[in-house]
Chain A
């Protein structure tokens, strides 16, 4: 409860949360607000905003930009959250094993992690999607594969810090299995930095997805923001609205998640909380 109260007094965190809630509501209400398929060519091509019944204008084929953005919310959030969950799962598992057991297991797992860290993430994502083929599942796989290493290193550091503590050793002495020790004692104490990093990973996942779609490597059946900007790029001199509005959608969502993550970081981190910055 203290955490929630502290967070509610964190101004930028609350702004982030508010924007994100709006985005979430729009995602949920998409089929109500725009029941038509966002790919449907509903009107005149190249209609500027607020003409012909288009709130944010229409694109080259006469598709509603506003409908695209609202439906794109679902795609971006789904990909962001799913790929982050997958990345957290992989990262925490590997980090926990390395941190808990140490020694050779640690060496081996960390060398593997470094292998992934040395390859530029976005390039690897492009490579994976280009090889596996552009589809929703493959994009999620690619983003998870490039996103887990920082989480693994973080988890390992937390586990290294906690595993020598008295309460952990006491639990082990009482005969609890390693799994019980990890789940009941270490993980709950390591969870806050993981949550913070995870929330920021969602933002970067959305950005990677947008960049992939922009380059034409997104799922061609999913109306996503990156795809919209990519498709509008060539006609930017004639129709600014086609790229500007999806761009703003990406900007606001990523900003909101970053603000929220920062807010969480400030409130969940006991050192910051105690220093009375808020």
Chain B
């Protein structure tokens, strides 16, 4: 075989390979059923079972395979999921869910109330920390008939109904997992759920191929025949794939912030920042409240006045996101914007610092603070640099300290830092994702993403607790409005940005973002044209 023949053969092989795994849009124009969606997943998830692993890529992919009892609209109201209806008893302790009939797992076995109870009270209690926080409040779970699940709580817990999305409570098959070592069950490789798509093939380092679940209980769904998640580790290659139409969907950080403006201008693409409401990532500067002068709220308020959040949004996040005003994100329920405002004002910042006796020394310097740079990538470095320059203007000298991922986690969780930045998900309800950062009972040494800054205000503690167990939404709003006023006055951390992430998709693709978990949704309704 000479070189020319070899080249022909290689080309033929390439074509054959491409035919097996279609790239780009394959269906005919005008057709609304069928077709292949090409999307991106990065980094490659270690496993697809969302009950066992809750990293972002796992949740994105697992959302197609596993379902929860409920779904949530973009304003976080519950909608039917596996459960077609639900009722809450007047004492707010008993929740009754009615499942849809004819739900089947990918292996053909029916999914019943027993699977739901097994998932919530046994499996997730062991494997899913976030779900454990909710289901440890369950006194008993019963199945009066195969399509009815009744949870009785030890005491009322308002966000209970907010805990049934597929990322928090993915229903698992009891017949596969009961009595086994969940994490090492060989069935994990098959990822058996009830979702509209099932795992067909997983080529490590290349792609994950999902195919239609023929026995899906929702009539007419899914519209798509298959979804192929391609693993593309390089950011520039991901942008090119989207630009050229070889993939039709990207989410989270697939497209880097600086590329958003350019891609937004492309005629075949649609960009939205909706579909992240349940997560509502909230970014702040964390100040160790134990260390002087950060133990004085006037200092923390001065920091809030000294940082121009709009400029940070525009320069660091290229215009994506929204200036945060307090502990609760405006995308989360019970947000109240009617709180003390900390507008960008160097005079006010200086006045507060003067007032607390931190006078400017030679060169205008008042104090030196060490800032631990978060080692999760470039954007965090830019945030740190922005904070340093901002605070330098009012005489707070910030010295950046580099560290690695393990070092950052260790120093922050053991309170051995002065200043850093942090980002937490709000998880749909202040009692699930917000209060954990501010209540005294969650000051736990060695635990990351707890109240690591050491803020404590007994009055606020009472309100957080009361709002978590109150069952009337109006009452909860009142309590949360009060606590937001107190916490914003105390300024335990300096809130910066409610982060937005861009989801890009081909304009021919419909029904992509239908809920508050956006791209993590089942995609049963997603279709071309």
Taken together as a complex, chains A and B put the C-alpha atoms of A16 and B316 apart, in Å, by 40
Q: Is the CB of B402 within 8 A of A217?
A: yes
CB distance from A243 to the nearest CB of B (A): 13
Proximity bits, A214-247, B CB within 8 Å = 1, else 0: 0011011100000000010011011000000000
CB distance from B520 to the nearest CB of A (A): 26
**A-binding segment of B99-107, B381-389, B494-502:** B381-389
B262 contacts which of A45, A135, A238 (Cβ < 8 Å)?
A: A238
CB distance from B481 to the nearest CB of A (A): 36
Taking CB as reference atom, which chain A residue is nearest B261? A238
Taken together as a complex, chains A and B put the C-alpha atoms of A40 and B388 apart, in Å, by 9
> Contacts of B403 on A, CB cut-off 8 Å?
133
The dominant DSSP class at the B interface is helix
Q: Is the CB of B386 within 8 A of A231?
A: no
Taken together as a complex, chains A and B put the C-alpha atoms of A37 and B311 apart, in Å, by 18
Q: Is the CB of A60 within 8 A of B258?
A: yes
Q: Is the CB of A134 within 8 A of B389?
A: no
A134 touching B402 in the complex, CB below 8 Å, given contacts A220-B381, A234-B235? yes
> Contacts of A133 on B, CB cut-off 8 Å?
401-403
CB distance from B285 to the nearest CB of A (A): 16
A194-213 residues with Cβ-Cβ distance < 8 A to B are none
B389 contacts which of A40, A130, A219 (Cβ < 8 Å)?
A: A40
Proximity bits, A131-161, B CB within 8 Å = 1, else 0: 0011100000000000000000000000000
A39 contacts which of B378, B388, B399 (Cβ < 8 Å)?
A: B388
Q: Is the CB of B392 within 8 A of A37?
A: yes
Taken together as a complex, chains A and B put the C-alpha atoms of A241 and B445 apart, in Å, by 46
Taken together as a complex, chains A and B put the C-alpha atoms of A247 and B53 apart, in Å, by 42
Q: Tell yes or no: B434 within 8 A of A by CB.
A: no
Q: Tell yes or no: B347 within 8 A of A by CB.
A: no
Taking CB as reference atom, which chain B residue is nearest A238? B258
Total count of chain A residues near the partner, CB < 8 A = 22
A61 contacts which of B262, B315, B392, B401 (Cβ < 8 Å)?
A: B315
CB distance from A94 to the nearest CB of B (A): 31
Taken together as a complex, chains A and B put the C-alpha atoms of A217 and B258 apart, in Å, by 23
> Contacts of B214 on A, CB cut-off 8 Å?
none
Taking CB as reference atom, which chain B residue is nearest A236? B236
Q: Is the CB of B399 within 8 A of A221?
A: yes
Q: Is the CB of A231 within 8 A of B389?
A: no
**Which of A62, A231, A234 has most chain B Cβ within 10 Å?**
A234
Taken together as a complex, chains A and B put the C-alpha atoms of A41 and B316 apart, in Å, by 12
CB distance from B394 to the nearest CB of A (A): 14
Q: Tell yes or no: B304 within 8 A of A by CB.
A: no
> Contacts of B235 on A, CB cut-off 8 Å?
234
Taken together as a complex, chains A and B put the C-alpha atoms of A238 and B388 apart, in Å, by 26
Q: Is the CB of B382 within 8 A of A237?
A: no
Proximity bits, B326-356, A CB within 8 Å = 1, else 0: 0000000000000000000000000000000
A220 touching B382 in the complex, CB below 8 Å, given contacts A39-B389, A234-B256? no
Q: Is the CB of A41 within 8 A of B386?
A: yes
Taking CB as reference atom, which chain A residue is nearest B311? A41
A45 contacts which of B236, B256, B315, B401 (Cβ < 8 Å)?
A: B315
Taking CB as reference atom, which chain B residue is nearest A45? B315
Q: Is the CB of A235 within 8 A of B258?
A: yes
Taking CB as reference atom, which chain A residue is nearest B398? A221
B396-435 residues with Cβ-Cβ distance < 8 A to A are 399-404
Q: Tell yes or no: B192 within 8 A of A by CB.
A: no
Given contacts A41-B311, A133-B401, A231-B378, 16 further A-B contacts (CB under 8 A): A37-B389, A37-B392, A39-B385, A39-B389, A41-B386, A45-B314, A45-B315, A60-B258, A60-B382, A61-B316, A61-B382, A216-B381, A216-B402, A220-B384, A221-B388, A221-B400
Measuring CB to CB, which residues of chain B are less than 8 angstroms from any residue of chain A? 235-236, 256, 258, 262, 311, 314-316, 373, 378, 381-382, 384-386, 388-389, 392, 399-404
> What are 13 inter-chain pairs, A to B, with CB distance below 8 A?
A41-B386, A45-B315, A60-B316, A62-B315, A135-B402, A216-B381, A216-B402, A220-B381, A220-B385, A221-B400, A231-B378, A235-B258, A238-B258
